[in-house]
Amino acid sequence: METLANRRSAYRKKLQSEGTPKIKKCSLGKMENVVEEKDGNLILNTTEKQLEKTRRTRKCGFTTTSKDDPIIVVGGGISAATFMEHVRLNGCRTPITMITQENWPPYDRVLLSKKPSAEGKSIRLRSDAYYRENHINIITKTKVNDFDFNRRSIALSTGRRMRYSKLVLAPGVVPKKLNIPGARLKNVFYLRVASEANAISTNSTGKHVVCIGGSFIGMEIASALVLTAASVTVVCMTEEPLPALGADIGAATSVSNVYAIGDAVCTPLPLWEIDSINIQHFQTAQEHGHMLGYSILGRPYPHELTPFFWALFFFEFGIRYTVLPRNGVVVAVANSGPIPTAIQFLDIFKRKIKITREDIEK
């Protein structure tokens, strides 16, 4: 395993032999962006409007699909969306159908706890045109009622039955329901999908709000509601909120041609010698979909899974967290504020560089 000390030494030798690269002002395509070096930092000058105008989405390079039964993806979250995109980019010509109970194709669900008033249609990840151009069929407002693994078919809530060549299960998870007196009273809400977030936003205006749960999502929704609610109280089981701050992914299941990805899945983290762990976060689910987009076609994935997530409180105080020393080896890093320390460690972990307590204390 490569160590941080070895990496530093190799980098110093490279600089000595090649010299420190100097980056001057340059134009990036048709954009009027300028990259410049200042005091050892790279600065990109642009505007939000320019970035939005020049955003590009990669497309598959073919116009027709094969005659095979479709790959059916059950679930409409980020792991499902990422899988469909990357299996297409890897050259898969099999028809793809995604089935979701939600009203919209995949959208930015992470935003719901930060901006609960956001509607699903306004935060979609991809347009209808994107799905048409990449030969992806989206079925919304529909449940899967039954699986027939022997016949490779599923039954939908609409009465329709569909055959599949491969089945990808990406159902996600749902919040644990309260089992206490009064849990079913009016104005008790759970947060998972856009319609629930919108209901919380609408019904909390001018009201006294109690958020049960003091981890990242609970604290995010609480901080988002302080602008409109009369008061916000957080109830948690720990002494303080945010207690967390003190092999193949998407592999085949035991059923032939059936795969599972996303929040409902336990996966290994080989770099930290963890055999099985369940991480319910957007980026990890996204990585699952990315990985399955390779492995379902028999292709190796370029790097190991490295969990990363971020949270935003009161619209300005952010926390970035990436997978504290464990057995003398760093397995997690967290930071707040504008300096992206955790992101820097994310890059180190992706390179399979093991960092020890001694490295940090130097």
pLDDT on residue 39: 76
State which H helix or E strand residue 100 sits in: none
Mean pLDDT of 247-262: 69
Is residue 34 situated within a structural domain?
no
Domain that holds residue 284: 71-174+246-307
pLDDT value, residue 152: 96
Contact 353, 4 (CB under 8 A): yes
Higher pLDDT, 33 or 126: 126
CATH of the domain at 144: 3.50.50.60
Total domain count, the chain:
2
Q: How confident is the model at residue 195, as a pLDDT?
A: 94
Same-domain status, 168 and 104: yes
Instruction: State the Cα–Cα distance between residues 283 and 108, nearest whole angstrom.
Output: 11
Domain match, 136 and 120 both: yes
Report d(CA 3, CA 85) in Å as an integer: 34
Residue-wise pLDDT for 34-83, tens only, equals 677 777 777 777 777 777 666 677 777 778 899 999 999 999 999 999 99
* Residue 120 placed within a domain: yes
Model pLDDT for residues 301-328, shown as the tens digit of each residue: 776 676 766 666 554 445 555 554 456 7
- In a domain, residue 42? The reply is no
Distances, alpha carbon 49 to alpha carbons 36, 122, 127, 201, 203, in Å: 20, 17, 19, 28, 33
Q: How confident is the model at residue 122 (pLDDT cuts 50, 70, 90)?
A: very high
Share of the chain above pLDDT 70, in %: 73
pLDDT tens-digit series, residues 136-152? 999 999 999 999 999 99
Q: Is the model's pLDDT at 361 over the cut of 70?
A: no
Q: How much is the pLDDT for 18?
A: 52
